[in-house]
Structure 1
């Protein structure tokens, strides 16, 4: 079980965290509630820009949520992921006996971007 980024980014520029969570469909609503505590803590960290949790239009037996969060820098993200309050909330989420979560986090930086002209 991977709960957070495995290593510090060390990146001084903007980064995006993309994390997928899979939960059984019957646990999806509970996951959303529990997830919001952890995400709310991060939303108050310096360097946080925005976060979104995406749910598929059609559920399968396991719902695969996709979390996307933008940060002003990887260094700000590195500091935020060391926050004891956030680490505790994350641990509670993964230890919740009513949730069976698998997660795959990764940090990214933009290498190609298109916008309307």
Structure 2
């Protein structure tokens, strides 16, 4: 366990990508199907470890979906997200007026570990 303010992970080590989605509860299934297509692209990229899309148990939750993915390094994640097909699909998802979403993506390091 670490309790200081320094990340547990060293530079160049694995990173966690978290993207929290605001999407209407009635649009979750459609968005999740599109997300799965984008995740399939990312899963073929060097440095990909895993990815899971979590769904809120309550339709009243502000954030209906949360994506948690692990990458071998920030550089691997950056290279993968630079893929033109992935960028086009991501842009299309953001601009889709039938399933409006607000995404909140960021890379994270472990701050505290109780494993």
TM-score of the aligned structures, taking structure 2 as reference length: 0.84
* Deviation for aligned residue 1:62: 5.1
Alignment partners' CA distance in 1, 2:110 and 2:61: 33
* Deviation for aligned residue 1:113: 1.9
Structure-2 residue corresponding to 1:97:
97
Q: Matched residue pairs, number?
A: 105
Two-structure CA RMSD over aligned residues (Å):
1.5
- Say which one has the larger Rg: 2
TM alignment of 1:19-98, pairs within 5 A: 19-60=19-60, 63-98=63-98
Runs of 4+ in 1 over 3 A off after TM superposition: none
Alignment partners' CA distance in 1, 2:111 and 2:60: 32
Unaligned runs of 5+ in 2: 1-10
Alignment partners' CA distance in 2, 1:98 and 1:32: 14
Structure-2 residue corresponding to 1:5:
none
